[in-house]
Structure 1
Amino acid sequence: MITLENLSKSFRSTAGSVVALDDVTLDVPAGVIAGVVGPAGAGKSTLARVLSLRERPDSGVFRLDGRNTGALDERSLRLARSRIGVVPAGESLLGQRTAAGNIALPLEQAGMDGPQRRERVGRVLDLIGLTDKAATYPADLTAGQRQRVAVARALIGEPDVVLADDPTGSLDADGAAGVLAVLDRARAELGATVLVATQDTSVVRRIADDVAVLEHGRILETGRLLELVRDQDSLVAQAVLPAIDGPVPHGYADVADVVLVGFAAVGSLLPEATSRFGTEIAVVGGGVTKFGETPVARFRLGLTGAGSDAALGWLSARGAAVHRHAVRELVAA
């Protein structure tokens, strides 16, 4: 659906040229939620503007469904823009319009007739769970509700792609959860491809299928989220997995850090390994979190007994990501 090939974008400033995007290559498959995560100034907002076809890159190619958007004529460019819904960063609603009026604005601008417009606005209000707030003005909505209305306005044209620039940045936990639920429903119920630019790694953990790490305008890491977290040295794993604090403990035959993905793995692999190989397995660090609805654990294990080596091999063969700490390292520590 979205393909970026060696994309670069710079801006002029009083200090000279500022590189916002530097040779960015990225693929976002159709129908996924992709997170682009990075600190302030990483280039996320510039990337969102390029993807919304409001900015042209200095070099490189942006393909939408295989078509080079840089080669589109003005009419084709307008049509391509109409397929992309944008949720801008910060407050964006018109204070003099109700929630329904804000959502309807793109349809009014497109010339859609009143009955059809009201029917579609009603469907989207139901999608975001704010049917009872249709006649409410932004000043009387919570921050989270206002952002859900902004997402609804991006969805009202039934876009193929939704771009959300820092959609939870100023929200409390409940407000953020409501916005992320709406973005997830947009993918599940409307079939939209969703790209979320954010500083908050918990956003990626809660809704993303794919993730890219952006820093100083460059993509440092990209891939499927649940594959990246299996590599405990990856930037994504370090950012989103439960932390393991403290030094590696002494007194065990083996010590290993393991990542377990899924209900069956988290719930049953360690007890089964204990019974199969006659080894004691102690969890000495780490914890369990969720990626969407999928539980993911990172544990530091201390193993004792003759079967500890076989137990770790068995865990690895059943999909656990196992990083072993050599006993000689522990003695030196």
Structure 2
Amino acid sequence: MITIRNLRKVYGKKDQAVVALDDINLDVPRGSIFGVLGQSGAGKSTLIRCVNMLERPTSGSIIVNNQEMTTLSGAALRKARQRIGMIFQHFHLLNSRTVAENVAFPLEVMGVRASERRSRVEELLGLVGLSDKAKVYPSQLSGGQKQRVGIARALAGSPDVLLSDEATSALDPQTTHSILQLLRDLNKRMGLTILLITHQMDVVREICDRVAIIEAGRIVEQGEVSELAAQPDTRLSHALFPRPQIHTPQPGAAVVSIVFAGNSAEEPIISTLARRFEVDVNILSAQLELLGQQRIGQMQAELVGPQVEQALAYLQNLGLHVEVQR
């Protein structure tokens, strides 16, 4: 749905130039939820604003639903933007308008007839669970309700793509969960492609199919969430499964990081290992995560005994990802 190639964004000129994005390449599959994860100042917001040309790139290509966005301007760009919805961290609702009037606003701009607007607004408020709030003003809503209005407004033009700019970072954990579940439901029900930026690992953990990690304006890692999490040496794996401070192994011992994914997460592998190879297993840390529909666990353990090498070979022959520290 979205293809980005060699994207570069520079602010300022010559000695004052600041490179916000540098050689960004991304492919967002149709119907997926794609997360861009990074800290403040990494370039996340600039990237998502380039997708709908709120920021015009310095160079590079951005194709949304087979249309090259960087070549568009004026009426053509406005028309293309109608197919790209956007929700914001701070909601950006019009306080002088009711909930229904906020949702109707983009339809007014598009020239949709009043009778069609009313029908569409009613449908959208039902979709986000706010049918009873149509005549209420934003000041009377909670943060989660305001964001639901923002989502309904973003969906007014029946977009192909929904962009989310830190949409849950101003919300409490329970409200964040409800908004993420709403986004996942819309993704499944409507086949909506969602590109979201966040600094919150919980957002990636809960709903993202794929993720790209951005640092200092560059993509340093990207792929399917479950695949990256199942590799001990990736940035995402280290973020999901923080490593404890591990002491130097005693002579003849090995400290290992083991990732369990899919069926292996349900098997008694460690107890089998201890019995078969007569090794002592000192578990230093362990964590299990549900990413999408797949269970992924990671364990750090010290293996001690005369058959440590055979035990390590057994783990690797099972197809597990194993990192060894001597």
TM-score (norm 2): 0.89
Matches of 2:237 and 2:12, distance apart in 1: 35
Correspondence for 2:47: 47
Q: Could you tell which deviates more after superposition, 270-279 or 152-161?
A: 270-279
Equivalences for 1:1-333 in 2 at 5 Å?
A: 1-12=1-12, 16-72=16-72, 74-247=74-247, 250=250, 253-262=253-262, 264-270=263-269, 273-274=272-273, 277=276, 279=278, 281-304=281-304, 308-326=308-326
Say if 1:8 and 1:60, in contact at 8 Å, map to a contact too: yes
| Deviations, residues 27-60 of structure 1 (Å, cap 9, x unaligned) | 1111111111111111111111110122221111
Residues 304 and 126 of structure 1, relative CA distance in 2, 3 Å threshold? farther
Looking at structure 2, the residues matched to 148 and 43 of structure 1 have their Cα atoms a distance apart, in angstroms, of: 26
Measured after TM superposition, the shift of residue 92 of structure 1 is 0.7
Contact 2:99 2:138 in 1 (8 A): yes
In structure 1, how many angstroms separate the alpha carbons of the residues matched to 2:252 and 2:132? 60
Any gaps of 5 or more consecutive residues in structure 2? none
Structure 1 pair 74–296 and aligned structure 2 pair: CA distance change class (3 A): same
Cα distance in structure 2, aligned partners of 1:77 and 1:18: 26
Letter in 2 for 1:230: A
Question: Measured at CA, do residues 293 and 133 of structure 1 come closer, stay the same or move farther in structure 2, by a change above 3 Å?
Answer: farther
| Deviation of 1:89 (Å) | 2.9
* C-alpha distance after superposition, 1:197-226 (max 9, x if no partner): 111122111111111111221111111111
State whether residues 53 and 70 of structure 2, in contact with CA within 8 Å, keep that contact through their aligned partners in structure 1. Answer: no
CA 1:161 to 1:251, structure 2 compared with 1: closer, same or farther past 3 Å? same
Aligned residues of 2:288 and 2:297 also touching (Cα < 8 A): yes
Deviations along 1:109-146, whole A, 9 cap, x unmatched? 22223343233323322332223333322112111221
CA contact (8 A) 2:252 2:306 kept: no
1:246 Cα deviation after fit: 3.8
Partner of 1:330: none
CA distance in 1, matches of 2:134, 2:319: 48
Q: Which amino acid aligns with 1:111?
A: G
Q: 1:252 to 1:87 in 2, by over 3 A?
A: farther
Q: Confirm or deny: 8 A CA contact 1:273 1:314 kept in the other structure.
A: no
Q: In structure 1, how many angstroms separate the alpha carbons of the residues matched to 2:281 and 2:269?
A: 7
Asked if 2 retains the 8 angstrom alpha-carbon contact of 1:259 and 1:296, the reply is yes
Structure 1: where are the runs of 5+ without partners?
327-333
**One-letter amino acid matched to 1:204:** V
Alignment RMSD, CA only? Answer: 2.6
- AA at the equivalent of 2:276: F
Identity of aligned residues (%): 38
Tell me, what secondary structure is at the counterpart of 1:285? strand
1:75-103 C-alpha deviation (Å, 9 max, x unpaired): 43233211110112323111122222212
123-132 or 57-66: which moved more?
A: 123-132
TM-score (norm 1): 0.87
- Which one is further off, 40-49 or 298-307? 298-307
